[in-house]
Structure 1
Amino acid sequence: MDDADDLKVTDNPAAGRLEIRLGENLAFAEYRLEPDAIVFPHTVVPPEFEGRGVGSRLVRAGLALAEAKGLPIKPTCPFFRAYIAKRPELHERVHPDMRGALTAG
Structure 2
Amino acid sequence: MVGMVINNETDSRYELHVDGQLAGQLDYQLIGDVIALTHTEVDEAYAGQGLGAQLAKFALDDAQARGLKVSPICPFVAKYIDKHPEYRVTVR
**Counterpart in 2 of 1:11?**
7
Runs (4+) of structure 1 exceeding 4 A deviation are: none
Question: Is 1:35 the equivalent of 2:32?
Answer: yes
Distance 1:9 1:25, change over 3 A: closer
* Mapped contact 1:25–1:48 kept (Cα < 8 A): no
Q: Please give the secondary structure, in 1, of the residue aligned with 2:73.
A: coil
Using the size of structure 1 for normalisation, the TM-score is 0.78
**Counterpart in 1 of 2:44?**
47
Q: Deviations over 1:42-67 (max 9, x none)?
A: 11111111122100010111112211
Using the size of structure 2 for normalisation, the TM-score is 0.88
Q: 1 or 2, which has the higher strand percentage?
A: 2
Structure 1: distance between partners of 2:29 and 2:66: 12
Which residues of structure 2 form unaligned runs of 5+?
A: none
Structure 1: distance between partners of 2:78 and 2:33: 18
Higher relative contact order, chain-length normalized (CA < 8 Å, sep 6+)? 2
Q: Which structure's CA Rg is the greater one?
A: 1
* Mapped contact 2:16–2:25 kept (Cα < 8 A): yes
Q: Please give the secondary structure, in 2, of the residue aligned with 1:64.
A: helix
Which residues of structure 1 form unaligned runs of 5+?
A: 96-105
Structure 1: distance between partners of 2:15 and 2:33: 23
Superposition pairs for residues 72-83 of structure 1, below 5 Å?
Answer: 72-83=69-80
Instruction: Count how many residue pairs are aligned between Structure 1 and Structure 2.
Output: 91
Q: Deviations over 1:18-59 (max 9, x none)?
A: 001235443100011111311001111111111221000101
